[in-house]
Amino acid sequence: MRTLTVEEVEPRELGGGSSCRRLSDPLGTTDLAINQYRVGPGDRLWGLHTHVDQEELYLVLEGGATLETEGGTIDLEAGEVARFAPGEFHGVRNDGESAVTLLALGAPLDTTDLRVPIPCRECGHRCTRPTVTEDGIAVLRCPDCEATSAVECPECGSEEKRAVLAEDGETVLDTCLDCGHDAVVSRF
């Protein structure tokens, strides 16, 4: 048995007032990923994504989080939990004025097939895999035809982009986190 106080684990800063404490290694888990996130007001942890080979649970500990899903958004308050099955697209953001703390649990521990709802430019496959080439270049790779496309923003060249839901809750935007440029990429 292993125990720890969450505060013993040094948080990794994610920007925007958000941070992550990775608890799996200190606890020695072999089958379960455990992360505590703090999401700053107006920030998001990541954009829409799915793990084809991992289910995830999000338990809100403090504050309120907005979950983006293929069916729109869902608001969770402290004490509420949501489960995403393998293959279900989701994202987490904080629309409130105070920080949100949540616990994310994923099984199995190591996910190897992350996808975003940005279609392949070559064959039109519904989603692509974010990956890094041997040269260290961020690209999106199609799981069907293996074609790659660049990740950088056409306006400013940043690679800090996320797939997010537009206000209509159905349109997926490819949004640059640096300059705010939005490009419509698909509809759920």
Q: Could you tell me the residue ranges of all domains in the chain?
A: 6-107, 116-187
Q: What is the pLDDT of residue 137?
A: 86
Of the ranges 45-49, 64-68, 99-103, which one carries the lowest mean pLDDT score?
A: 45-49
Which amino acid type is present at position 109? L
Residue 164 has a CB neighbour count (10 Å cut-off) of 20
Residues in a beta bridge with 148: 141
How confident is the model over 112-128, as pLDDT tens digits?
A: 899 999 999 999 999 99
What is the pLDDT confidence band of residue 177, given thresholds at 50, 70 and 90?
Answer: confident
Q: What is the pLDDT of residue 46?
A: 84
On the question of pLDDT at 4 being above 90, the answer is yes
CA dist 148 to 98, 122, 131, Å?
39, 9, 9
* Distance of alpha carbon 90 from alpha carbon 36, whole angstroms: 17
Q: What is the pLDDT of residue 167?
A: 87
Which amino acid type is present at position 186? S
Looking at the chain, the whole-number percentage of residues with pLDDT higher than 90 is 80
How confident is the model over 97-110, as pLDDT tens digits?
A: 999 999 999 999 98
- Cis amide prior to 11 (ω within 30 degrees): no
Of 141, 152, 100, 87, residue with least CA distance to 119? 141
On the question of pLDDT at 187 being above 90, the answer is no
Mean pLDDT of all residues in 6-34? 95
CATH topology of domain 6-107: Jelly Rolls (2.60.120)
